[in-house]
Amino acid sequence: MATHHVLLLGGNGKVSRLLTPMLLQRSWDVTSIIYNPDQVADLQKLGEKPFSANNYGRLDVLVRSLEDVKSESQAKSLIDEVKPDYVVWSAGAGGKGAPERTEAIDRDAAIYFIRASVATPSITKFVMISFIGCRYKKAPWVDEAHWQQYLKSTRNHYQRYYEAKLPADEVLYVEGKKRKDFAGICLRPGRLTMEPAGNVSLGKFPRAEGTSSRPAVAYLAALLLDAPGVKNCWLDMLDGDEDPEGAVKRCVEQGVDCAEGEHFY
């Protein structure tokens, strides 16, 4: 098994805390970026080797404020310090607090780290955790009635978050296309829950409304990082009826890309 070093931005989030041991169990090293020093000791427990594990990766926890990253060069400086070959963005203000904070983290810092990652030849995969309705317009395969219901019931309530998040998703797609050896993967779940990981719907399906288990999101992120041949893409995800391993294999082999229909596709 090839070893990798993952830079996990937003390491104390619920998805990140589930993802971290999945990566360590693959004998990969993880550098987790958090902003609150009070969380370090608790997070480091995720790096404790289980008694049954033969090979377990190393977890490093660094305290850094993503809100204070104001340029691509600052993002590149952290990347050069950590020296990862994979990056996962699971950070964000999520629309909470002042609008400027959401814009500084979910839009600006994300874009700086995307551009810095693409500019780093040793980085070959970047997984962005986004959400299914983060689009400029309805996907061609989504039912119009379902889309309008989704806008009314969900997305319109998170307008600030959507407006900050979407430019970063677009930049990951556009910049990721510039390198043949780089995969910018935007994983796009629905309403997040803490239900146990189960089967999923991954790719194109006729609805945008639905739930996504956080453990399943984390597991899919790990599978996509581990998947040989995965290309630059957006992948929508809800709880469903296909096993995660089969869903990832199908989407990779078929080149499924949910960015279809967007102006930059």
- Mean pLDDT, range 191-208, rounded to an integer: 95
On whether residue 263 sits in a domain, the answer given is no
Contact between 26 and 5 (Cβ < 8 Å) = no
Which pLDDT score, from 0 to 100, does residue 104 have?
A: 94
On whether residue 82 sits in a domain, the answer given is yes
Percent with pLDDT over 70 in the chain: 97
| Beta-sheet strands, E only, within the chain | 5-9, 29-34, 59-63, 86-89, 125-129, 183-189, 191-193, 200-202, 211-213, 233-239
The pTM of this model reads 0.96
Range of the domain at 171: 5-254
On whether residue 51 sits in a domain, the answer given is yes
118: domain CATH number is 3.40.50.720
On whether residue 259 sits in a domain, the answer given is no
pLDDT at 182 over 70: yes
- Residue 92's pLDDT band (boundaries 50, 70, 90)? confident
Q: How many domains does the chain have?
A: 1
SS3 label, residue 29: strand
CA-wise closest residue to 126 among 234, 254, 22, 258: 234
Which pLDDT score, from 0 to 100, does residue 156 have?
A: 82
Sign of CA dihedral 214, 168, 259, 254: negative
Which pLDDT score, from 0 to 100, does residue 75 have?
A: 98
On whether residue 261 sits in a domain, the answer given is no
Instruction: Report how far residue 203's alpha carbon sits from residue 256's, in angstroms, rounded to the nearest whole number.
Output: 6
- Residue 55's pLDDT band (boundaries 50, 70, 90)? confident
pLDDT digits (tens, 9 = 90+) for 113-166: 999 999 999 999 999 999 999 999 999 999 999 999 999 988 888 888 899 999
Instruction: Report how far residue 201's alpha carbon sits from residue 216's, in angstroms, rounded to the nearest whole number.
Output: 11
Cα separations in angstroms, 227 against 171, 231, 249, 252: 22, 10, 8, 8
On whether residue 265 sits in a domain, the answer given is no
Which pLDDT score, from 0 to 100, does residue 93 have?
A: 67
On whether residue 260 sits in a domain, the answer given is no
On whether residue 92 sits in a domain, the answer given is yes
